[in-house]
Amino acid sequence: MTSQTTQTARRRNHAAPDQSLFIVTRDFGKLGLESVTDPAATRETIINLIATHQIDRVAFVVECNPVEGWSRDITSDVLDAAEAAARELQAA
């Protein structure tokens, strides 16, 4: 791996200061839970992925900001918005 590639990979793995991170936990029943995050994801990205069924089996969604030291459960807000977005996509 080149130095430039290494630096790019490092930048992708760290959130920008004061940037919210979104952790989506999926429930696979007896197989367990899976938590995924993408530092580049926004609330809108997560909503769109759920609305288009690219992310399914959502157990909960947490928004956090490690720099500011807070986190909150936004599951209801995200699932409601994803449901509305899915309805809009079907109507289009």
54 DSSP 8-state letter: S
Q: Give the C-alpha separation, 21 to 37, whole Å.
A: 7
Per-residue pLDDT, 92: 80
Rounded to the nearest 5°, which phi and psi values hold at 26?
Answer: -105, 145
Per-residue pLDDT, 16: 56
CB 8 within 8 A of CB 40: no
Indicate the pTM of the whole model: 0.76
> Each residue's pLDDT tens digit in the chain (92 positions)?
444 444 444 445 555 567 899 999 999 999 999 999 998 999 999 999 999 999 999 999 999 998 899 999 999 999 999 999 999 988 88
